[in-house]
Amino acid sequence: MTVLVACETVLLALLVLLVAGLLRSHAEILRRLGPPTEEGEDRGAELPSPARRATIREGNDIIGLTLEREPVKIGFGEGYPPTLLAFLTSGCAVCESFWNDLRDGRRPPQLPAEIRVVAVTKDPTHESPSRLRSLAPQGTPVVMSSAAWNDYGVPAAPYFVYIEGGAVLGEGSANGWAQISSLVRDAIDDFAVARGGEARTRDVDRVLAAAGIRPGDPSLYPSGRPEEGEE
């Protein structure tokens, strides 16, 4: 009888240890899945694939400060060159490689020379202007603007936005110039296809108009009249 009680005591102790271990494991899982800290959000933010394409939308002008704390505005649209916005920080290792490449004048040949590169950082409340001055390349504008990060919905750095003709044609994260070149090249090609379709539609409209055929003309529809919503 004594042996049986001892065995039950040992089994009960082992069961208690097992339950305690499971509770600790469960608590650790909940802690990791819980709301991240502000620092954790910066480290763990999920970055879009470099192949992500933005729906074509208007690019907002960037208003901020130069590294000398002078007000500056970067505009887009007619009269401005196509622009690659590089959202960078002074702290991440991947960003530093881009800073170094820009400072050394290293840009891939696949990236058209007419594309201007503009580096965009956060405001002086988040960044050190003196540190950025040591990183900034000559000939590449650097704008400190947290508002721009919000306007373009930048999830984390490094992040790149390609703007042409005042419209955002492509955006995404990248770890190297090869990915950026692919993003820009695909955005340019996609936009060219879209413009080609619009041009063909305008040509057809002009030909029909010259023949006296206007939108809603019965000859355009087998039934003799347009379906609802087709005019």
Q: Label residue 37 by pLDDT band (50, 70, 90).
A: very low
Contacts of 166 (CB under 8 A, 6+ apart): 58, 59, 76, 77, 78, 80
Euclidean distance between CA atoms 145 and 124, whole angstroms: 9
Helix, coil or strand: residue 74: strand
Query: Could you read off the pLDDT of 67-103 as tens digits, one per residue?
Result: 999 999 999 988 899 999 999 999 888 999 999 998 8
Euclidean distance between CA atoms 136 and 127, whole angstroms: 13
- pLDDT higher for 29 or 58? 58
Residue 55: pLDDT over 60: no
What is the arithmetic mean of pLDDT over 107-118? 82
Report in angstroms the alpha-carbon separations of 13 from 106, 109, 216: 66, 69, 86
Is 99 exposed, middle or buried (CB count within 10 Å of its CB: 0-12, 13-18, 19+)?
buried
- pLDDT higher for 126 or 218? 126
Report in angstroms the alpha-carbon separations of 75 from 63, 80, 165, 187: 9, 7, 11, 20
* pLDDT for position 162: 93
Q: Label residue 26 by pLDDT band (50, 70, 90).
A: very low
- pLDDT higher for 107 or 114? 114
**What is the pTM assigned to this prediction?**
0.61
Query: Could you read off the pLDDT of 138-170 as tens digits, one per residue?
Result: 889 999 999 999 999 999 999 999 999 899 998
* pLDDT for position 15: 58
* pLDDT for position 131: 93
CA angle 38, 40, 45 (to 5 degrees): 100
Residue 172: pLDDT over 80: yes
The pLDDT mean for the chain works out to: 75
- pLDDT higher for 11 or 133? 133
* pLDDT for position 2: 67
Q: Hey, what are 96's tokens?
A: 């530093």
Place of tokens 């996609």: 190
